[in-house]
Amino acid sequence: MAMKNLRSNFEPGTTRWAVRRTQWKEMGMSDEDMLKPKIAVVNTSNRLSSCFQHVDKISVAVQNAIRAHGGYPFEVRTVATSDFVTSAGKKARYLMPTRDLMVNEVECMVEGAVLDGIVFLSSCDKTTPAHLMAAARLNVPSIVLSCGYQLGGQCLAGNYVDIDDVYEAIGSVASGSKTFEELVDMTNHAISTPGVCAGLGTANSMQIVAEALGMALPGNAPILADSAKLYRYCELVGKRIVEMVENDENPRAIITQKAIENAIMVVLAIGGSVNTVRHLSAIATEAEINMDVVKTYEKYADTIHLLTAVRPNGPYRTEDLEAAGGCRAVMKRLESFLHLDALTVSGKTVGENIIDAQVKRDEVIRFMEDPQSYRPGVAILRGNLCPNGAIVKLSAVPNEMPGFEGRAVIFDSEDEAIKVGIGEGKIQAGDVVILRNMGPKGGPGTVFACSFVAALNGANLGSNVAVVTDGELSGLNRGIIIGQVMPEAAVGGPLAVVQEGDRICIDFIKRTMNIDIPESELLERLREWQPAKRELPPGYLAQYWELVQPIEQGAVLGYRAFRDR
C-alpha cells in the first residue's frame, strides 16, 4: 500500500532521501516499504518497574498490526518513570520533570525523523499525560493505547493486598500498629501481574482521561494489563493509525475545549486523581487552547456528581469498573451533559461511540439521580491561602465532613514529617500539616508529599488531620488532603508565609481555604517574604527550574516561561 503526499516520502535523489534510504535498506526495508506510512510506536518499556514489564510484547503486537494494514512501524524508546521506583532519587524530584522530558524526546524522535503517525503505549503515571501533550504539540496523526492496570494478591493471612495497602502500611509500622514482618509479607504479594497501580490513582485516571478526550479507542480504559482484550486493542490500534494517516486526522481536531470539558466531567464522575488538573492544564497549553482548566473543574463541580466508589474512594476495585463498562459506561451515564459532537480517534464522535454503551453493574456506576455522592469527586478550593486555587479529592473525604479547622504544623520535607511528625508524635489530632516549598519551582520538580499522606493513614491519623501542600500527591491518597496549592510557596504564594500555630480553616461546602489572620497581616507577611537563594548543581533539574511555567498552566516547559517573566 503506497500513499501519496506522505511527509516522510522525500524527493528521490536528494541528500536526505539518499542517506536515509541507505540506512533503512540495511535494516531490511524493501522499496515498497519505503513508500508506506511510517509510524512511530512510542514504547515506554524499561526494566525498573512492574508497570512496564508487558509493554515490549504490546509493542510487538502493535507493530505487527501496523504492518498487516499497510504501514511501516518504527519502535521509538523514551525515558519513563515509575512513581514507586524512580521516586527514590532526590525525593521524587525527577517525576514531574520527566513528563516534560518525555514530550521533548518524542518531538526529537518523530520530528527529527519526519514520521507520519504515532502510537503511544501509555503505562505509568507520567506517560499518558506526556503522550497526550506530545500529540497536541506535534499534531501528526496519533493514538494512545492504554496498557492497563495490575492486580493485587493475597498475603499469608488471606487478606487482599495491593500497592496502596503497602503504601499505607508504612505508617502503621512507624506508629507500631503493624510489624515489620507483616509489611514484608505484604510486599511479597501486593502485585501479581504487570501494569499500573490497581487503584484509581493517576495512572488509571489518566488512561480514562485519554479515552474521554477521544485520544484512545472507546472501551480501552480501564483495561487489565496483559489480557486478551488488550491484545485485541493492539490490532485495532494498528489498523486505525494507518487510516488516520491516510485521512490526515490530526490531534488538534480531537483535543479541543469541548474534549477537555468532556474529560473533566468524567474525572468528576469517577473521583479521579487530583493530578488530572495539572495534566489537563498542560495538555490544553500544548494544544494552544485558550481555556482556564482550573475554572472549568469549578464550572462543572455542582453539575456532575460522583458516580463511582473505586479504591481509594470506596470499596470497589478497578477491575469492577472495567466489568461495569469502564469509561464508555461512565460517559453513557453523562450523555446528556457531554459534548456529543466531539471527534475521537475512532473516526466517530463521542455520541456515536457511546450510543450502544451499557452499564453492566449499576452498583459500581450509579445513576446521576442516585449517585455515590452529590459532592464532586474533585473540587477546587479558593481563599486567601490559595488565591489561584487548590485541589481536594472530595471523593476520598467522608461525606459527612463539612470542613476542617486546626493549627498549622509546618514541615519542609516529607521525611521530617514522617519521622518527627508521626514517629515522634509532633502531629496531633486536629492539626493541619503544611508541607511546602515542594512544588515545580520549589523542588525543583514536585517533591513527594503522598508517602507522608499514606503513612498518616497507616498511623490512623488520616481522619483527624488535614494536609495542605504544594507538593506531589498520589491519586491513591485518601483523607483530608489539599494539594496543588496555587501559587506555590517558592514563588511567593501565601503558603510561604504561614507560621507555626496559625489557624487554617477549610470549608468543603463553600469550597474555601483560608489562613485565619487579618488581611493586613497577611499582606505584610507577603511584602516581607523573600525567595530562598538557590544554588542548583548542573543537570536536568536546574534546567527544569529555569524553564518551568506556573502549575496553574500545567507546569509545562518552554519559551513561554521566559516570555511571561
Q: How many CA atoms lie within 13 A of 82 on its CB side?
A: 16
Q: How would you class 91 by CB atoms within 10 Å of its CB: exposed for 0-12, middle for 13-18, buried for 19 or more?
A: buried
Residue 557 cell numbers, joined: 516547559
| Backbone dihedral angles phi then psi of residue 43, each to the nearest 5 degrees | -105, 120
> How far apart (Å, rounded) are the C-alpha atoms in residues 288 and 291?
9
| Backbone dihedral angles phi then psi of residue 12, each to the nearest 5 degrees | -55, 140
Please give the radius of gyration of the chain, using alpha carbons only, rounded to the nearest integer: 23
Pick the closest to residue 446 from 97, 19, 76 (CA basis): 97
Which alpha helices (H) appear in 190-291, and where do they start and end? 202-213, 228-247, 257-270, 276-286
Q: Which residue's entry shows cell 453523562? A: 334
In single-letter form, the type of residue at position 352 comes to E
Are the C-beta atoms of residues 126 and 81 closer than 8 Å to each other? Answer: yes
Report CA-CA distances (Å) from 265 to 209, 237, 422: 10, 25, 37
Alpha-carbon dihedral sign for residues 438, 444, 445, 451:
negative
Q: Is 474 a catalytic residue?
A: yes
Let me know the angle formed at the C-alpha of 89 by 88 and 92, rounded to the nearest 5 degrees: 70
Largest CA distance in the chain: 75
Count of CB atoms within 10 A of residue 227's CB? 16
Strand order in the sheet with 72-77: 72-77, 38-43, 117-122, 142-146
**Quick check: helix, strand or coil at residue 129?**
helix
In single-letter form, the type of residue at position 328 comes to R
**Quick check: helix, strand or coil at residue 160?**
strand
Count of CB atoms within 10 A of residue 492's CB? 14
**Out of 59, 273, 413, 474, which one is annotated catalytic?**
474
| Strand bridging mode 432-435 / 403-411 | parallel
| Strand bridging mode 379-383 / 386-392 | antiparallel
So which residues are the catalytic ones? Answer: 474
